[in-house]
Chains A and B, each alone.
Chain A
Amino acid sequence: MAESEVLLEVKDLKKWFPIKAGFFKHTVGYVYAVDGISFQIKRGQTMGLVGESGCGKSTTGRTILRLLERTDGQVIFDGQDLNDLSKEELRRIRPRIQIVFQDPYSSLSPRLPVGEIIGEAVREHGIVPEEEFDDYITRVMEVCGLPPYYKDRYPHEFSGGQRQRICIARALALSPDFIVCDEPVSALDVSIQAQIINLLKKLQKDYGLTYLFISHDLSVVEHISDTVGVMYLGNMVEFAETDEIFANPLHPYTKALFSAIPVPDPDVKIDRVILPGSIPSPANPPKGCKFHTRCEKCMAACTVKAPEWQEVEPGHWCACHLYNMDALTPEEKEPAMSDEAKDT
């Protein structure tokens, strides 16, 4: 099979968490954590996924890996739909898709020495013959900047940055094609952040890795990603190449989000778009466009009709009625007073 350019394709992925209530625990509603998102990641590239907490970034990452079962939609990895795979087939594909978690303090077993943490899955999947095992682990650790004598130490002896290196080594040891990085640097100090980001970039160059980089730190995402997707309340609102999206954000939410980034220069006074209110509950999302309660450009149509996910410019996707004005009737274009975010 010829290798296609796209490594991972997500089509209309949905993940709803049921809300159970009552004695018989019947389902009374759903938390629409991920509500129909689509994107593609090309081989060897990094896609950044940004958004506020609770918008479904991490759920997306976990659903792709089948750590959570999807509700609907497709995740196509290297030509195969991950959701169609049987248990055995899934086991065989697992080494190729790995994850690095946010909190390096809680994602390492405190009872295993570092060598064992990194090597457990290597042994399980038979990546290398038993007699080469030790050398292999040493090599992986060296690649991640960990001296080999750390092998017999336990996670509590390490600082946050070192632990994150161990997490990365654990993922890398299975020689994956694709790694989901779920906020890998947000628990770390600035100077350590830089070390980890540089390490991730170096590994990508050396091994041709593909990343899905989930983060709420926009400056980090801009630095590491080739493409960026912006999520709001379970939906993707904008997707484009990094340079394009930062230079020319289309969706009002993206604009507000980007203008809120603090710039380390006292002379730069940005015209901040300060969003009123806070993110609504994903269990009871607003009708129409989910963002209309906080949007300053809200129109009548936004309160009833959900905008379509469309390619506004080549390679630049956006879901907003503002870029589909032709389809609206004049009444629908009337500015609507967004019901002033209720709690503010």
Chain B
Amino acid sequence: MAENTKNGSKKKGASYLSARESRRITKYNRRVTKRLEKQRADANKDENLYTTKMKDEGNVVEFDNVCTYFFTDAGTVKAVDGVTFNVPKCSTVGVVGESGCGKSVTSLSLMQLLQRPQGQVVGGEIRFNKDDGTAYNIVNTPNEIMEKIRGNRISMIFQEPMTSLNPVFRIGAQVDEVLKLHNPDWTEEQIKERTLEMLDMVGIANKEGVYKMYPHELSGGMRQRVMIAIALACSPTLIIADEPTTALDVTIQAQILDLLQNLKDRLQSSIMLITHDLGVVAGMADYVVVMYAGRVIEKGTADDIFHHPSHPYTIGLMRSKPVVGKKVEELYNIPGSVPNPVDMPNYCYYKDRCEMHCDRCSGDYPPEIRISDTHVVSCWRYFDEGEVLGYPKSVNVEDL
């Protein structure tokens, strides 16, 4: 109770803004976003600034210390703050975390779909493999090139199949559109043929009928299948699935996950699976990245994360989910809640909720520590046991 009281009063203090303070923030935001937009326009013109080299050719995408900030009227929100991880070819990477931990913003940064000018990638590199020895640095890539990548090389499946299809166009037209855009030399017949092939591939039996239907005539599971057909139409190298099954029922969820897994193998794509459901990740992913408050706190193979969870948050998360067949009298609950994103502490973000914290935790934010070949964790408890890989680098907002 005492802790609640403390958090409560702090919260009120943080959300209160005087008129003068509010004006200062607005003015500052305007200045910073204007400058960032200008920098970006300059970078877009110079090919050297947006082509780079992959660190490892075996990866499709490398996130290297990505910082995505939102300049809001309440202050700067560091939604993603120094995120580093890779998506290897032909594999599934699960990104897990609670709502507001930055998992969706990470994927939006990769697609350049952030709400600009408030949302900006202010630091780091996102390298996307061109498969010819070079790579795009997505952060500086101009829009014309992004348009060729989006939907073609990287595509996205959204959470809500109900809202991501356009209600006034027929299903056929919506799948055709993607193909038309990325294959301008195809004939109408070729496009229709490919669309029907795609609908067939995602398990829609009545493909000719569905081609002529409107989205409202389909059930949730069928709509999600159509979304998958649209996403896979151009055989992308990376599919971002942002909570693809959250809006669906368990039995339909099983169908869709099964389908995604099969298609991934057939098209030799990689999947970046964003979800908050540990069960879904366990069944699908080869690698798992756990995020908390805008930072990666633990990453490794599925085996590392599920059999040797090391960060106290991952351990807590696993213990707080009831599992069928495992009887527990009381579920573990992680005390408190996520810190205010406008006003992050300067020590480990999880310390205030952590039951295993030690003296060191009050110091700097913990570095990434490699505890086995594949397993990396950001926690001071492992400082003496593994090799320190480096600290997540935050961008100082005052310098922008």
Contact = CB atoms under 8 A, between A and B. Distances in A.
A97 to B, nearest CB: 26
Interface in A211-268: 216, 218-220, 222-223, 246, 256-268
A69 interface: no
B276 interface: yes
B283 interface: yes
A190 interface: yes
Given A52-B250, A272-B258, A262 B333 contact: no
Contacts of A262: 253-254, 257, 277, 279-280, 282-283
A278 B221 contact: yes
Interface stretch (A21-29, A86-94, A113-121, A192-200): A192-200
A68 interface: no
B222 A343 contact: yes
B344 to A, nearest CB: 17
Contact of B276 (A190, A265, A274): A190
Interface string B322-338: 11110010111110010
Interface in B272-286: 276-283, 285
Nearest to B321: A190
A52 B98 contact: no
B205 A343 contact: yes
A161 interface: yes
A344 B203 contact: yes
A190 B320 contact: yes
Contacts of B325: 222, 246
Interface string B366-389: 000000000000000000000000
B8 A194 contact: no
Contacts of B205: 340, 343-344
A283 interface: no
B98 A191 contact: yes
A264 B250 contact: no
B351 to A, nearest CB: 16
Q: How large is the interface on B (under 10, 10 to 19, 20 to 34, 35 or more residues)?
A: 35 or more
A201 interface: yes
Name, among B302, B321, B334, the residue most crowded by chain A CB atoms within 10 Å (CB to CB): B321
Contacts of A201: 330
Given A194-B321, A194-B333, A264-B321, A257 B251 contact: yes
A151 to B, nearest CB: 12
B219 A278 contact: yes
B356 interface: no
A149 B334 contact: no
Given A52-B249, A53-B249, A278-B219, A190 B278 contact: yes
A57 to B, nearest CB: 12
B306 A264 contact: yes
A322 interface: no
Name, among A193, A265, A272, the residue most crowded by chain B CB atoms within 10 Å (CB to CB): A265
B250 A343 contact: no
Contact of A190 (B218, B253, B258, B317): B317
Contacts of A218: 250, 324
Given A161-B337, A190-B98, A191-B98, A264 B318 contact: yes
A260 B258 CA distance: 11
Contact of A274 (B98, B255, B306): B255
A185 to B, nearest CB: 10
Contact of B4 (A147, A256, A266): A147
Given A191-B98, A216-B249, A340-B205, A261 B331 contact: no
B1 interface: yes
A223 B331 contact: yes
A338 B330 CA distance: 43
Contact of A275 (B251, B317, B332): B251
A195 B333 contact: yes
Contact of B250 (A191, A198, A261, A267): A261
A213 B37 CA distance: 52
Interface of A: 52-53, 142, 145, 147, 149-150, 159, 161, 189-195, 197-198, 201, 216, 218-220, 222-223, 246, 256-268, 272, 274-275, 278-279, 340, 342-344
Given A193-B320, A343-B206, 20 more contacts: A145-B4, A147-B1, A147-B8, A159-B337, A192-B337, A198-B333, A218-B250, A219-B323, A222-B325, A223-B322, A246-B325, A260-B251, A264-B318, A266-B285, A266-B302, A274-B251, A275-B255, A278-B221, A342-B206, A343-B204
15 contacts: A52-B252, A149-B5, A189-B99, A190-B276, A193-B320, A194-B332, A194-B334, A201-B330, A219-B324, A223-B331, A262-B253, A262-B283, A266-B306, A278-B219, A343-B206
